[in-house]
Amino acid sequence: MSEIESVLVENRVFPPTAAQAAHARIQGMAGYEALCAEAAADLPAFWAKRARDLLVWHKPFTQTLDDSQAPFYRWFADGELNASANCLDRHLGTPVERRTAIVFESDDGQVSRVTYKELLARVSRFANALKAEGVQKGDRVILYMPMGVEGVVAMQACARIGATHSVVFGGFSAKALQERIQDVGAVLVITANYQMRGGKELPLKRIVDDALAMGGCDSVRRVLVYERTATAWDKVDGRDKGFAEALAGQSDQCAPTPVDAEHPLFVLYTSGSTGKPKGVQHATAGFLLMVRQTFEWTFDWAADDVFWCTADIGWITGHSYVAYAPLAAGATQVIFEGVPTYPDAGRFWQMIERHKVSIFYTAPTAIRSLIKAADSDATVHPRNWNLDSLRVLGSVGEPINPEAWMWFYREVGHERCPIVDTFWQTETGAHVITPLAGVTPLVPGSCTLPMPGVDVAIVDESGQDMPKGSGGMLVIRKPWPSMIRTIWGDPERFKKAYFPPELGGGVYLAGDGAVRDVKTGYFRITGRIDDVLNISGHRMGTMEIESALVAKTDLVAEAAVVGRPDDLTGEAICAFVVLKRPVKDAADGAAIAKTLRDWVAQEIGPIAKPKEIRFGDNLPKTRSGKIMRRLLRSLAKGDAITQDTSTLENPAILGQLDQKY
């Protein structure tokens, strides 16, 4: 698509078609506005009504919102329920029990199906195995698993017995895993011998071994190993158990343990603006309520839909819209083990055809890479497959550029399917700004309007509302049920990071910039305003990468990391590094750069590897010694330096920082 066209379409509006509107459970924008008005009139009553309708309670709640210890808000606090019972047991004795819950497609294209009844039996059996290992209500369990049914079963089994799960994405390194195990104080780790990705067998268990060997993980009593492949793995006697051994003889009946509404369902680590990842803690009832409600409103889900969210369970999207929301709703969903480009870049389209997917939810970075692949190889263009089953498309993780939006809309959705560009975060638990399929008129590149019941606004540094058309900081002014409850073990950091006193102490700061359209009031997210980068939809703190680099003490004296725009990955990581010895020549520079990339992969994971590394005798600093990051961002972008460099202590440095490795 030409530049000019992309600029033009940005102002185009795509209202729902008559067929889309007729399908939707919310009747037009009037219906949407009525919901917003209902929430504005009495926010607790709005959510209490839905919590009664959508959740199954062991003991009904009588209080809705407790804000007496704000910003530590509590929702439905005196109620009791179980998340797994809300996803599985509730369907027993209804037609849903025979429905396929999960269609699993493995990396090599094998398909298996699990009904709701079978899933309940598997989760119950696994829950009994966890109990037999001594796991108790309130204990923390780490998952380091491939994408697949077993991961979801393990998460649900933890929820069933009231254990708090913490899933670590399978691409994180041993060091990153060890830090999370230690921080959350896990009693048990669930992993697999290997994971299959793109035809390759990648070790997982070995990385768990390395993590535990680093020390500080004395809380871990047991490692359970899913034998995903036939390849042997090293067993540590007395500590490790294969799934077969752990599950042998366990009953497939296990009564769900009732927990308080505020009981921590999970802790999921995410990057913040300091070097240490934050353990985002979510509560059982509020989380479950909002993921289920948004699943139905945003995607306009109906019982005959086949839902496919391509996110891994290691990220929040895989928690909310794979492991919980579809099951709570009784949906049929596809779970895919592999990668979008194996055996070729037609894999997603082939799978949509094969499984008759009707709601397809993926990330802009995947779309962009598939556009590129289709442009250079016509045989992987989506037109080669029958995509008529599609009804709704979704996007998540980063802003979707209008070019990618239009391609997705035309080439995949055939101009029949709304695209819901869902803005939300690990901390929000569920969609907070998004179009509702069949309801909201769409504008490419805009996440449009707030979810009913979420009070989103754009403010300046002092908390004043920004007029439409002026950019500012995205905030949420009132609590919402699926909000982060605290940072695991660090309530002070929670308060400081999300509820700054300048904004009154009770207003949630999202960390993103945003602007509203003057005419429509639609939101557009302009990107993070803190030191968090978004690489292919994955959050990475610049400080985290800097800490990893300077930990290479034999080579690195100092490092600064910034992001720059990238056509494919959204943002790319650029590192500016001061070495302890001079770079001899280009070959030496390239060798050091490789060493540093490998090092970062080992410290954090391959996703944190800098795309570009530049070396200098020093970093550009002010006379007071502050690194001038804005200047580094301009350098990384390749922009002319327009900033005032008169405060720079060492202007000669700029010349050195040209050479990229």
Strand boundaries in 392-455, DSSP class E: 392-396, 419-422
- Residues near 535 by beta carbon (within 8 Å), at least 6 away in sequence: 563, 569, 570, 571, 572, 573, 607
Q: Could you tell me the smallest distance in angstroms from the CB atom of residue 654 to ligand 6R9?
A: 30
* Residues 70, 506 contacting (CB under 8 angstroms): yes
- Nearer to ligand 6R9 by Cβ, of 193 and 270: the residue is 270
**Closest approach of ligand 6R9 to the CB of residue 396, in Å:** 5
Cβ proximity to ligand 6R9: between 151 and 429 the closer is 429
CB of 422 to ligand 6R9, least distance (A): 5
d(C-alpha 32, C-alpha 484), whole Å: 25
Which of helix, strand or coil describes residue 126?
A: helix
* Residue whose beta carbon is closest to ligand 6R9: 426
**Cα radius of gyration rounded to whole Å, the chain:** 25
Query: Smallest distance, Å, CB 271 to ligand 6R9?
Result: 8
Shortest Cβ distance from residue 366 to ligand 6R9 (Å)? 13
CB of 332 to ligand 6R9, least distance (A): 23
Gap between the Cα atoms of 610 and 20, Å rounded: 43
Give the residues across from 459 on adjacent strands. 465, 473
DSSP code of 315?
Answer: S
Phi, psi of 329 (to 5 degrees): -80, -20
User: CA of 585: how far to CAs of 609, 615, 618, 635, 659, in Å?
Assistant: 22, 12, 18, 22, 11
* One-letter identity of residue 309: C
* Residues sharing a CB contact under 8 Å with residue 119, sequence separation 6 or more, in sequence order: 88, 101, 102, 153, 156, 327
The two three-digit tokens of residue 635, written as one number: 């350098």
Q: Which of 244, 287, 38, 46 is nearest to 155 (CA)?
A: 287
Nearer to ligand 6R9, 457 or 579 (CB): 457
Rounded to the nearest whole angstrom, what is the least distance from the CB of residue 346 to ligand 6R9 in the complex? 25
CB 417 within 8 A of CB 382: no
Asked if residues 509 and 475 have their Cβ atoms less than 8 Å apart, the reply is yes
Smaller CB separation from ligand 6R9, 126 or 315: 315
d(CA 628, CA 249): 62
Q: Residue 17 or residue 425: which is nearer to ligand 6R9 going by CB? A: 425
Least Cβ distance, residue 539 to ligand 6R9 (angstroms): 5
The Cα 393–Cα 421 span in angstroms is 9
Dihedral, CA of residue 635, residue 638, residue 639 and residue 641, to nearest 10:
30
Region of residue 28 (left: phi > 0; alpha: psi -120 to 50; beta: else): left
Between residues 293 and 534, which has the closer beta carbon with respect to ligand 6R9?
534
Query: Residue 438 or 511: which CB sits closer to ligand 6R9?
Result: 511
Instruction: Give whichever of 124 and 434 is closer to ligand 6R9, judged by the CB atom.
Output: 434
Q: Please report how close the Cβ of residue 519 comes to ligand 6R9 at its closest, in angstroms.
A: 20
CB of 439 to ligand 6R9, least distance (A): 17
Q: Would you say 128 or 395 has its CB closer to ligand 6R9?
A: 395
Q: Which is nearer to ligand 6R9, 387 or 447 (CB)?
A: 447
CB of 397 to ligand 6R9, least distance (A): 4
In this complex, which beta carbon is closest to ligand 6R9, that of residue 159 or of residue 419?
A: 419
Q: Least distance in Å: CB of 29 to ligand 6R9?
A: 20
Residue numbers of the site for ligand 6R9 (CB under 6 A)?
270, 315-317, 396-399, 421-426, 447, 510-512, 525, 528, 534, 537, 539
Q: What residues are paired with 540 via a beta bridge?
A: 533
Q: Which is nearer to ligand 6R9, 431 or 552 (CB)?
A: 431
Cβ-in-10-Å burial (0-12, 13-18, 19+) of 376 comes to exposed
Type of residue at 469: G
CA nearest neighbour of 414 among 391, 431, 448: 391
